[in-house]
Amino acid sequence: MLGTVWCRATRHEPRVRVVLTRQGKDTVRIDAPVRAFRCTGPRAQIGGGLLLQGVDGGNGVLVWLRTADSLRVGAWPLLQRGDTLSPRGATVGVRFMLGDAARGALLDSGTVWITRADSMVALVARGTGSETLTATRMAVEATFAAAPVGADTASCRAQL
C-alpha cells in the first residue's frame, strides 16, 4: 500500500499582543489575530489611511493610521478624540472585559512606531488613556506583528 502525505507550510497568522496596566497594578493581556485594511473617510484628503484590528472575544484593540499619502516608517503622534483637522497621526482604542462588564479607553498620550510599511504593516503603540466607564488611568502597549494589508476597504469615518 502506497501512502501519500500532503505537507502544507504552516500558515502564519499575524497577531497583536497587548498589555494593559490599570492603576499600575492590575494587568490585562490580550493576544489576538490581526487584520489590516485600507480605509476611506468622508474627506479623502484627511479621512483615509489604514485600520488595524485585533479581536479575541470581547477583548480587542483598534489602530487608525490617518494619512493623506503613503505610510512611513517611524514615529506617529497620537491624535486626540474628535481631531478632524490633523492630516497625519494615529488613534488607538482598546476594549476589554472584566467579568461581564465591557471596559475601554482611547489613548490620549503616547506614540505609535511603525516598523514596517510596505505590502505589510507592523507597529508598536505605547501610551496612556482613561477608561471610559471609571476614568481610571491605564497604560497600554500593543505590538502588532507584520500583517498583510487586505484588498478590501473599510470606512474610516469618525463618529463621536
- Residue 103 has which C-alpha cell? 471596559
- Summarize pLDDT for 79-137 with one digit per residue, the tens: 987 777 787 899 999 999 988 889 999 999 999 999 988 889 999 999 999 998 888 89
Residues 6+ apart with CB under 8 A from 70: 117
pLDDT at res. 113:
96
Whose CA is closest to 142, among 97, 95, 73, 89? 95
Residue with cell 517611524: 74
- Summarize pLDDT for 19-53 with one digit per residue, the tens: 999 887 789 999 999 999 888 765 544 557 899 99
- Residues paired with 33 in a beta bridge: 15
CB 141 within 8 A of CB 152: no
